[in-house]
Amino acid sequence: MQGYKKISKEEGARVELHDKLGLTGAEISINTLPAGTSVPFIHAHKENEEIYFILSGKGKAVIDGDNVDLSEGDWIRISPSSHRQFFSSLDSPISYVCIQVRENSLQSYTADDAVILG
């Protein structure tokens, strides 16, 4: 069995990588909102926190009633219960990666999770 799976860039307003990569511990999506648009709903989660990375453009997130400006290079983490909705700016699309993982599930990371083999 191969220990990796690779896919190439796909175009679209939303690309979910869970099934495409066989992910078992996270959901990752790549999203693009055209200028002057928004995610058409407010949402929260039951167990999963979301980590967003802004790839390009600008916009905002409304999180629990707070307006949070977003632009290329920004990272933001949102707790599961926080209500959120994303908007592009009127003059710019926004593209972002969303990583969704179960809150408080990380037990070790980086060097603590590594096994040095050589």
pLDDT of residue 18: 86
Tens digit of each residue's pLDDT (9 = 90 or more) over 35-69: 999 999 999 999 999 999 999 999 999 999 999 99
* 48: nearest Cα among 81, 6, 5, 88: 81
Sequence-separated (6 or more) residues with CB below 8 Å from residue 101: 25, 26, 27, 48, 49, 51
CATH number among 3.20.20.450, 3.30.1490.100, 3.40.50.300, 2.60.120.10, domain 26-33+46-97: 2.60.120.10
Q: What CA–CA distances, in Å, run from 79 to 55, 67, 114?
A: 21, 16, 27
Check: CB of residue 49 under 8 Å from CB of residue 79. yes
What pLDDT, on a 0 to 100 scale, did the predictor assign at position 10?
Answer: 72
Q: Which residues of the chain have pLDDT under 70?
A: 1
Spatial distance between the Cα atoms of 58 and 94, rounded to a whole number of angstroms:
5
Residues paired with residue 28 on neighbouring β-strands, in sequence order: 99
pLDDT of residue 17: 85
The pLDDT of residue 93 is: 97
Among residues 6, 43, 38, the alpha carbon closest in space to that of 21 is found at: 6
pLDDT (0 to 100) of residue 1: 56
User: Are 57 and 94 in contact, with CB atoms under 8 Å apart?
Assistant: yes
Measure the CA–CA gap between 60 and 63, rounded to whole angstroms.
Answer: 9
Angstrom distance (rounded) from CA 116 to CA 118: 6
